[in-house]
């Protein structure tokens, strides 16, 4: 894999920049999923691309020596795209919608799940994807319970959505056995005992709603370390990936 090396009088910046992948994604033209256009992406490759997205987000998007970025850009939307691409090769589905407003019969307002899978003109699964739970340390169970109640109410109902680019309308039925999965990329950035209690409390929502935590040990947004070295320090929970894929199939 090719990486971008920059010359800099600041040794620390130079050390950091050499880990930024030289793909056109950083310049806003093409994404890492294009590297896997014609083949499946395995768990390791998916996690590695997420690390690279974090590191790319520290860089500004235009080649200009007069500008620099302090805080990183959010990568949540990019990871949703990447995860949809990853899933599309792993599960039996006709389409995956990302951050798609959906109007459901009897619902006052549209819902906007992170990902929705469609098969045979039915919505079969809803997915909420979180990078970590640091943003809402005490709120995981409440989030799950809200989605669980909404899922129960939505099953069997008609719904419609409008594509973001073409504005074409589509009409579906929400499957009576549709599921909701809360996928958390890493268990870092939160007290492990607090996360464990929240997950344990959510077990009473199974099998309609389940939580899947994909990685552990290290956060994918660590600094001053290459993606190849960082991923070696992380634990990729292949069992969680497998359970999620089997659930969505």
pLDDT tens readout for residues 187-199: 999 999 999 999 9
Determine, yes or no, domain membership for 62: no
Domain count, the chain: 1
Per-residue model confidence (pLDDT) at position 3: 33
> Mapping DSSP to helix (H, G, I), strand (E, B) and coil, where does residue 228 land?
helix
Per-residue model confidence (pLDDT) at position 134: 87
Tokens of 72: 């990183």
Determine, yes or no, domain membership for 55: no
Q: Which domain holds residue 79?
A: 74-248
What's the predicted TM-score (pTM) here? 0.84
According to DSSP, the residues that pair with 202 across neighbouring strands are none
Residue 162, domain CATH: 3.40.1350
Residues in contact with 134: Cβ distance below 8 Å, sequence separation at least 6, in sequence order: 188, 189, 190
Determine, yes or no, domain membership for 191: yes
The Cα 162–Cα 82 span in angstroms is 22
Determine, yes or no, domain membership for 148: yes
Determine, yes or no, domain membership for 83: yes
Taken in order 199, 220, 214, 95, the sign of the CA dihedral is: positive
Confidence tier at 61 by pLDDT (50, 70, 90): confident
| DSSP H or E stretch at residue 227 | helix 227-233
Determine, yes or no, domain membership for 105: yes
Determine, yes or no, domain membership for 10: no
Tokens of 121: 């003109």
Q: Nearest Cα to 19, choosing from 188, 231, 237?
A: 231
State pLDDT tens for residues 69-104. 999 999 999 999 999 999 999 999 999 999 999 999
Tokens of 164: 């973001």
The larger pLDDT score, comparing residue 247 to residue 63, is at 247
Determine, yes or no, domain membership for 104: yes
In sequence order, what E strands does 3-101 have?
A: 95-98
The Cα 23–Cα 77 span in angstroms is 18
Taken in order 229, 136, 83, 243, the sign of the CA dihedral is: positive
């Amino acid at each position: 894999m090719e990486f971008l090396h920059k010359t800099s009088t600041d040794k620390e910046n130079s050390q950091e920049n050499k880990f930024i992948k030289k793909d056109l994604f950083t310049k806003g033209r093409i994404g890492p999923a294009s590297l896997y256009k014609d083949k499946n992406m395995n768990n390791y490759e998916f996690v590695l691309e997420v690390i690279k997205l974090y590191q790319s987000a520290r860089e500004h998007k235009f080649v200009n020596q007069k500008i620099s970025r302090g805080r990183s850009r959010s990568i949540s939307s990019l990871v949703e795209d990447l995860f949809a691409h990853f899933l599309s090769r792993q599960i039996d589905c006709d389409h995956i919608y990302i951050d798609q407003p959906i109007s459901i019969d009897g619902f006052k307002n549209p819902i906007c799940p992170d990902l929705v899978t469609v098969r045979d003109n039915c919505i079969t699964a809803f997915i909420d994807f979180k990078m970590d739970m640091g943003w809402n340390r005490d709120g995981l169970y409440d989030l799950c319970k809200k989605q669980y109640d909404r899922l129960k109410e939505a099953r069997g109902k008609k719904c419609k959505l409008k594509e973001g680019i073409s504005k074409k309308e589509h009409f579906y039925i929400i499957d009576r056995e549709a599921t909701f999965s809360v996928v958390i990329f890493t268990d870092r950035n939160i007290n492990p005992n607090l996360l464990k209690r929240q997950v344990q409390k959510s077990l009473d929502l199974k099998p309609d709603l389940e939580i899947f935590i994909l990685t552990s040990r290290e956060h994918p947004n660590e600094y001053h370390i290459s993606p190849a070295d960082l991923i070696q320090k992380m634990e990729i929970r292949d069992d969680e990936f497998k359970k999620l894929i089997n659930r969505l199939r």
